[in-house]
A and B are shown apart, each in its own frame.
Chain A
């Protein structure tokens, strides 16, 4: 069917799969940005650095921890890290929110961007100092090694897992925010924090936890990414700029919107790799330009 374009179906499917994987990461990361933006009104520039931290914590737990504690058999495996790394990163994030970000809420929102940019530089610089810029390999957990034969293509188990896991997390987040009581507080807090506080809800605590949750999402994506991309201090920096473009395209008003936009743009990027690979690095930015021309508020956004 695709032969006339000189493209084999295998190449197409495998690039679509890569696109879907990247799209899952875009979805989880832009979701985290949107959740944080909704409550704190800041763009978390450290999101990429926190994603990288998640991956690094997972890698440290598997390969470094034993050496540090003098017992080489001691290690924390991938599954435990899926929980521990986001929690640890969130704890650091909460400390940052309490000590620094919370001082900025009364100021122009741009200061939050500048502060988190500085934090991203610090985090990345520290990891670069200790671990260099070359990537560290992280082994795929045993259960997920190998591939499934779907008849028309081979699907590596781990990649399937990444898509399932990130979509589940996205869906759970959507459900929590749109369908539970806690989520309704959160949505109300986004609309009018003072009124919600007047009803006796602890808004500052809610803001802190929201930031922690957004950061945990980034770290979760980092752990998922560790076995696919090599773990390196620079893995988050370039990714986060693409995610910014994704956020501009989708608009941050809608949770479901961020998820759909992230996945869709990942797929489009994958398709571009098949048909015109030179443009694959910039296709998302080009789409951003088109969206800005046609619908400046973003596909799912609203002006505020």
Chain B
């Protein structure tokens, strides 16, 4: 069920995630990383396994942030209900976008998702409850299940990490299920998958909805952490960022997006106050470098390296 190497990876991830805040790493930074890591993994489900490049995934990330923020702050819902509602909303939005976008393939798919995301972005600007440019501020953290006090940063950290793990494991299981195998076959050769009798459109749509829902869960969790839902999360820059994280970590690898998210968020954190708007130039340069020289990404290259060493030993 879980291969030997993947089990090792899981164990490392689990230990790193549990121990990291004990080593004095700023928990808010770590939580942001886990949110984006889940976001990138959800995105990777689509590009890495179904071969669909969505350039509008910030739509789900941002929308879920607003829904969770509004439900918790204005309607006074508990955090878990807010997260669930936001995830359900992102799934519905994903179904809507997905059923439109899968009518075209390849480059058109990317352009359609980008345009649809931009449409929702304009909607958030105009709707009153989102607070426009200021965003939805002061979302209370409250108590998870009525017993875990989330105002405590450590409690919140482990809740966020648990949410990430749940999402991550769901994606892992999906990818390695028969459903995931069909997705891969569609990526490799769509006409053949179609001729074997698979309803390709339905598989793509289901993958899209799942990816959108988990992206929404990530966005809603981020709102809980920062107590803020803002336009930035719905902007196409964020869509680009998640593409970059996945590409840098390794398209179609299980752990790649997690590594990519940590590297990108870490870089942004380190650079933001030192170089200002050079951050965008550096992100662009990483994009170019990845596409030109480094298409397997960090984890992909590592795996290829391990494979080569393994072959030599044999």
Q: Which residues of A contact B (CB under 8 A)?
A: 37, 42-43, 100, 103-104, 107, 109-111, 113-115, 117-126, 128-129, 237-238, 241-242, 244-245, 247-248, 278, 281-282, 285-286, 288-289, 292-293, 296-297
Contacts and interface: CB of A to CB of B under 8 A. Distances in A.
A285 B291 contact: no
Given A117-B243, A121-B284, 19 more contacts: A37-B107, A43-B110, A100-B292, A113-B55, A114-B247, A114-B291, A117-B287, A118-B284, A118-B286, A120-B284, A121-B281, A125-B280, A245-B118, A248-B108, A248-B112, A248-B115, A285-B115, A285-B116, A297-B104
A239 to B, nearest CB: 11
Contacts of B126: 278, 281
A282 B277 contact: no
Contacts of A293: 100
B291 A115 contact: yes
Given A118-B286, A282-B123, A103 B292 contact: yes
B13 interface: no
B114 A244 contact: yes
Contacts of A238: 118
A286 B279 CA distance: 34
Contacts of A103: 292
B281 A109 contact: no
Q: Sort chain B's interface into a size bin.
A: 35 or more
A285 B247 contact: no
Given A115-B287, A119-B288, A241-B236, A110 B119 contact: no
A210 to B, nearest CB: 17
A250 to B, nearest CB: 12
B284 A244 contact: no
Contacts of B118: 238, 241-242, 245, 285
A158 B141 CA distance: 55
Contacts of A245: 111, 115, 118
Given A128-B280, A241-B115, A285-B115, A118 B107 contact: no
